[in-house]
Amino acid sequence: MSRAKLEKLGLTLPLLPTSTVGSFPKPDYLLQARARFARKEITQKELEALERKATEFWVQQQEEIGLDVLVDGEQYRGDMVAYFADIMPGFRMGGLVRSYGNRYYHKPIIAGEIRWPGPMTVKWWKFAQGLTSKPIKGMLTGPYTIMDWSFNDYYPDRKSACLALAGAIRKEVETLVEAGAKVIQIDEPALSVRPEELPFAIEAMQMVTDGVPAYFITHICYGAFEFIYPRMLRFPVHNFDLEMSNSGLDLIGLFKKHPFNKDLSFGVLDVHSHKIESPMLVKERIAKALQVIPKEALWVDPDCGLKTRTVEEAQGKLRSMMAAVKEIRQALDKAPKRKQRRIEVGSVVKKRRKKIRKHKYKKMRRRMRHKKK
């Protein structure tokens, strides 16, 4: 549990802090502008003005919905790995490969020494933080995932490529903290792909986070967690943000066998479904999480980034989530008193039942005596 860590950083968050995994859908005008930019019909400056407009929209939406820890919405990013590979020296873009379903992306190639090119995300973090008094998360992709989603034509093995990337991401983390970021999320969706590589993935994350005064979250999705749990608890971050709802909350069973000992951002919204979850369904999911995670250690958010939903679906899902969280917070506030009352009520009921039983017994005895006579 890291409440103390958060308070040390000057962050007082309510019970069940709410957040999102990072990406939001891009409004139509931005999608069109990105296509026009690709065809060289508008300038970088014109595109950036629209990216700022969309960022402002999402920061304002998150405030209005009532989330506690906000994100910049990644309106300026395409793919979470290609964005960094595009900027970092050492990479060149490869051909199109299929990622999932009918989605294709340019798989980057590590073709030289990887270096940190100077701030990659800080400008956007500062812009978003300037729009709100709520904390904005720094958002990065982790060294293991960038390595796993790229071809390696330069380093002798996957581990050395991963550690070289860790050095560059560490510098980005330090720059975010210097700018004022207190919560930094470093996504490692690929973490469970090859369980035998977990030790060097941990070593890389140690390089990234060691001694840095920030609260670190790692998001992992589509994982085969049963192969890396509980070993993954050695990952040096404060909070694991896990996809739970799309996998039918299966992980809860694992947590019952071996207790989860970090803060958990519990995914309560299925980002692959168009359907907007009802607050009742979200409440049921949170109640299940509370069976295995102490309330002080639980955060609530969607399963993954919302970028594949429509703007309206993303808004609707988050409103449902917030309504559910508010109700559960109220119930938890009142819980000690109610529990006491239930105990009192319980003992009164018990006494009354005893009386009734005694009364019935006497009546029966009387009847028996009567029969005998």
Q: Which stretch binds Zn ion (CB under 5 A): 84-92, 259-267, 296-304, 336-344?
A: 296-304
| 169 touches Zn ion by CB under 5 A | no
10-18, 196-204, 245-253, 304-312 -> range binding Zn ion (CB under 5 A): 304-312
| Angstrom distance (rounded) from CA 82 to CA 260 | 32
Q: Give yes or no for residue 304 binding Zn ion (CB under 5 A).
A: yes
Stretch that binds Zn ion, among 83-91, 208-216, 227-235, 299-307 (CB under 5 A): 299-307
Please name which of 81, 75, 47 lies closest in space to residue 59, comparing C-alpha atoms.
75
First to last CA, the chain: 72
What is the token pair recorded at 35? 């296509």
Determine, following the binding rule CB under 5 A, whether residue 193 of this chain makes contact with Zn ion: no
Closest CA to 186 of 158, 214, 151, 149: 214
Distance between CA atoms of 177 and 86, rounded to whole angstroms?
A: 23
186 binds Zn ion (CB under 5 A): no
Q: How far is the CB of 88 from Zn ion (least distance, A)?
A: 22
User: What is the distance between the alpha carbons of residues 17 and 333, in angstroms, rounded to a whole number?
Assistant: 15
Q: How far is the CB of 232 from Zn ion (least distance, A)?
A: 15
> Which position has the token pair 């994350």?
205
Residue 96 sits at the vertex; the CA angle it makes with 125 and 224, to the nearest 5 degrees, is 70
Count Cβ atoms below 10 Å from residue 41 Cβ, excluding itself: 10
Among 221, 237, 322, 325, interactor with Zn ion by CB under 5 A = 221
> With respect to Zn ion, which residue has the nearer C-beta, 33 or 169?
169
- Complex with Zn ion: residue 75 or 218, whichever CB lies closer: 218
**77/283 with CB nearer Zn ion:** 77
Piece of the chain touching Zn ion by CB under 5 A; list 167-175, 216-224, 261-269, 356-364: 216-224
The residues binding Zn ion (CB under 5 A) are: 221, 304
